[in-house]
Amino acid sequence: MHNNLRSPVIAAIVPCYNEEAAVGKVVSDLQAAVPTATVYVYDNASTDATRREAEAAGAVVRTEPLKGKGNVIRRALADVEADVYLMVDGDDTYDAKAAPEMIRLLLDGPLDHVTGVRLPSHEGAYRAGHERGNRFFNKVVSAIFGYPVNDMLSGYRVFSRRFVKSFPATSRAFEIETELTVHAVNNRVPQAEVQVGFKDRVEGSESKLRTYHDGVRILAMIARLLHHERPLALYLSLGGLLAVLGVALGVPVIVEYVQTGLVLRFPTAILAASTVLLATVVGLIGILLDGLRKVRADSTRIAYMSIPAFRTSP
């Protein structure tokens, strides 16, 4: 049980892969912005001097050998014990000075999730392909889950302990931000967004995000989450489309039978009946999956509620 009268334990988690040119500054900037935080750099099997630079800057360095940002965050959130978790990329593109305000907002709420919405410091700081993709994904997720999302792919976030310890991370790579966003909006946890400065990578640092490859993976993650979190809407929509197709195929056969007393197009009649039957099965699958979703959502909520919220006052 947390003591509400003590200061919060703050952990800054910095996932890194080959960030020797930037990680030292990220660590020192975080230490200056949030002096009470312990900075954990999770080295994702880097082949450069990332570990050495992070240790020299004063970070606690740990290694996650499984490649992929999702694997790193999954490991870090399981390993680290804290009241407040700050997640920020190790490429020095986010403004560390925004961290105190994000943490204050989380604690004063109290909230469970604060997202840093990127505000480019100048034109060109945000790669055009990434910006367009992010806007598209924001609109898709906002429409599916009925909650406005303005920077779904932000790597700068603050979480409460109860959010972290009830988050069933399954992503392996850059889909982790999508999973975090959907977990927050789908479980309707108290959250907020804060604009944060965003700039170019430092010279000698290279982006690990592959626009089209990772974009496809993010779309696949959204599809999986739609299947898991909105099965009734998904399968009833598919069933409805199949039913319309079946009726469109069957009506001419029925009209022909009424007029002539004969079924002259047996293949079409069989296809129409099969399509309507398939539509019924798809709809029933949606109903069954929605029941399972409800059970899973209740379990997640119970896990979430079993962890007390940290408060800065009695």
Q: Is the pLDDT of residue 157 over 90?
A: yes
CA distance 109 to 28: 28
Domain ranges within the chain, ordered by starting residue: 10-226, 231-305
Res. 72 pLDDT band, cuts 50 70 90: very high
Both tokens of residue 217? 């993976």
Task: Give the model confidence (pLDDT) of 90-146 as tens digits.
Answer: 999 999 999 999 999 999 989 999 999 998 765 545 555 667 778 888 888 888 888
Q: Encode pLDDT of 180-208 as tens digits.
A: 998 898 889 999 999 999 987 676 556 55
Residue 4 has pLDDT above 70, yes or no: no
**What pTM was computed for the model?**
0.80
Give the count of beta carbons closer than 10 Å to the beta carbon of residue 261: 7
Residues 6+ positions from 97 with CB-CB distance below 8 Å: 29, 33, 197
Q: What is the pLDDT of residues 228-249, one digit of tens each?
A: 888 998 999 999 999 999 999 9
Burial group, residue 280, by CB count within 10 angstroms (0-12, 13-18, 19+)? middle
* Residue-wise pLDDT tens digits, 37-69: 999 999 998 999 999 999 999 999 999 999 999
Q: What is the pLDDT of residue 314?
A: 58
Q: Rounded distance, CA 275 to CA 139, Å?
A: 32
Domain 10-226 - what CATH class? alpha beta
